[in-house]
Amino acid sequence: MNKKLVIIVTLAFTVVSAVGVALWMRGADERLLSELEADHRPADAIPRLRRMVEHDPSLLLPQQWLLRLEIETGDLNSAQKRLNLLQVKDPGSYGTASSACLFYLKKGMGVKATGNCSRAAELSGREVDDLNRLASAYIMVGKLPLALPVLEEARRKAPENLKVMNNLGYYYLQAEQPEEAIKILDEVVKKDPKFLEAYKNLAHACYAAKQFRKAADTIEKILGIDPRNKDMMMIMAFIQYHNLGRKDLGAKYSKMAMDLG
C-alpha cells in the first residue's frame, strides 16, 4: 500500500511540476512578446523565439518577430526562409507585409520593397513608421516626387518625429530645394542639438543654397560633436578658402584633416 501511495504521489508531483514549468514558460514567452512590442530587444530574444516556433510552428506572431530580428541582425538567409514560410501561411497580414518591406529594403530590392511597403502602410492605416519606409522604397526606385508627399504626410501625423523630419529635409535637398530643406533641418537641430546626421544634411543644404557662412557655422557644430570627422574638415577647408576668402582658415582645416591620416 505504501508503495502504491509513493508511486501516486510521485506521478502527481511530476504532473504538477510539468504543468508548472509549462505555465512558467508560457508566461516568459508572453513577457518576451510584450517587451518586443514595447520596442525592447532582450539579448536572448532570437534563441527564445526560435525555441517557441520550433515547439509550435503555427505561432505566427513569434515567427514575425523572429523574422524582424533576423533582418535587423543581418541574418538574411534565415530571414529569406522565414519570409517564404510566412508568405504561404499568412500572406494577407500586416505583419507579413511589414516584414517583407523591411527585408527587401535591407536587400536593396526597390521594386519588391515598394509593393510590400505600400501594402503595409495601407494595412496599418498609414502609420508613421510605415510611411517612412514607403518613402525609402520610393527613393530606392528613383521616385523622389512620390516620396516627398508620403513623408509630408508622416510629418503631419508626427510633428515631433525628428527622424522623419531629417529624412524629409534630406529628400528636399535631393529634390534641389535646399531652402525648404534648411527650414526643416533647422527645426530638427534646434530640438536635438546632438543629431549629427541632421547637422550634416543641414551643412550640405546651406552650401547648395549658397549660404556659405551658415554652412561653415554648421560644420563647426558638427566638429564639436565629432571632432575627428575628416570629410567635414575638408569641406570646411574648401568653404573657408574658396567661398569665404579665408585662406588662413582653409589651410588650418586642411592641415587638421591631413594630420588625421
| For the chain, percent of residues with pLDDT exceeding 70 | 84
Report whether pLDDT(218) > 70: yes
Higher pLDDT, 13 or 88: 88
Distance (Å, rounded) from C-alpha 50 to C-alpha 30? 14
Which amino acid, one-letter code, is at 138? Y
Distance (Å, rounded) from C-alpha 23 to C-alpha 259? 62
Q: Mean pLDDT across the chain, nearest whole number?
A: 87
Distance (Å, rounded) from C-alpha 43 to C-alpha 236? 41
Q: Look up cell 541632421; give the residue.
A: 198
Average pLDDT in the 208-215 region?
98
Q: Find all residues with CB under 8 Å of 197, minimum gap 6, and list them.
A: 166
- Reported as a pLDDT band with limits 50, 70 and 90, residue 17 is very low
Provide the whole-model pTM: 0.74
pLDDT in tens, 142-184: 999 999 999 999 999 999 999 999 999 999 999 999 999 999 9
Domains contained in the chain, CATH given: 28-211 (1.25.40.10)
Distance (Å, rounded) from C-alpha 101 to C-alpha 124? 13
Which amino acid, one-letter code, is at 80? Q
- Reported as a pLDDT band with limits 50, 70 and 90, residue 121 is very high
CB 160 within 8 A of CB 166: no
| Per-residue model confidence (pLDDT) at position 16 | 47
| Per-residue model confidence (pLDDT) at position 35 | 66
Which amino acid, one-letter code, is at 56? D
pLDDT in tens, 63-98: 888 888 899 889 999 999 999 999 999 999 999 999
CB 138 within 8 A of CB 150: yes
Distance (Å, rounded) from C-alpha 105 to C-alpha 113? 6
